[in-house]
Amino acid sequence: MSIPRVLVAVTLVKRSLSSRWASERWEPESIDVLGEAIAPDAAPTRRPTADGGWRFAPYAVELHRSEAEGYHLNLVAPLPKAFVLLRPAETEAGPPLVPLLVTVSYNEAARMLDGGESVEAVPLPASLHEWMRPFVEENYKPEPRKKMKRNDPFAEGAFRRDPRTGH
C-alpha cells in the first residue's frame, strides 16, 4: 500500500515583540499545497518573499495508518492545524529558524513537544483538510469504550455495618 503524500511549502515571517528579552520572533505563517511537479525527495529550498518573510519548499506531508487517531483529533478540532517542527538554521543567510518537518497529526506533534522540540501550529488549509478526510474515515477505528466498575455505596453489603455487631 502506498503512503498518501502531498507536498507543501512553509512561509516563515518575523513578528516584532514588545519584550525586554527579545525584539522579534520568527514563526510559520502559512502552509501552501504545491503541485506534483516537484520531486518529493528534493531538498527543501528557501527564498525570500516580498513582505520580508521566507518561503521553504517542498515538504512532504504523509499519512500513516498508525497516526489515524492523531489525524482524527485534528479534523474534529474547532480549528484544525498543521504542525511545523522548527530547528536553528545552520547558515547565517535567512531566518534563524528553518522548518524540518510538517505533520497534520496531533499525536505526532505532541510527541515532538514532549521531546523538547520547537513545534508551531498554523491553520490547516481547506485542501489538506479534504485530502485527509477519506483516509481518516477509512483507517480510524475508535477504541471500544470499556465499562468502568465503580464502588457502589448502595450495593448490598457495601460500606454497611451490622448494627448488632459493629462489623
Residue 160 lies inside a defined structural domain of this protein: no
Residue 134 lies inside a defined structural domain of this protein: yes
Q: Provide the domain count of the chain.
A: 1
- Angstrom distance (rounded) from CA 2 to CA 15: 39
Residue 147 lies inside a defined structural domain of this protein: no
Residue 152 lies inside a defined structural domain of this protein: no
Contact 41/10 with Cβ under 8 angstroms? no
Q: Which residues of 145-160 are buried (b: 16+ CB within 10 A; e: fewer)?
A: eeeeeeeeeeeeeeee
Residue 98 lies inside a defined structural domain of this protein: yes
List Cα–Cα distances, 79 to 12, 47, 58, in angstroms.
20, 29, 24
Q: In 78-125, where does DSSP find H-type helix? A: 106-114
User: Tens digit of pLDDT for each residue in 14-66?
Assistant: 888 888 888 888 899 999 998 765 665 667 788 988 888 899 988 999 999 99
Maximum pairwise Cα distance, the chain? 88
User: Tens digit of pLDDT for each residue in 143-164?
Assistant: 787 776 666 666 665 555 666 7
Q: Which pTM does this prediction carry?
A: 0.80
Residue 159 lies inside a defined structural domain of this protein: no
| Boundaries of domain holding 55 | 5-139
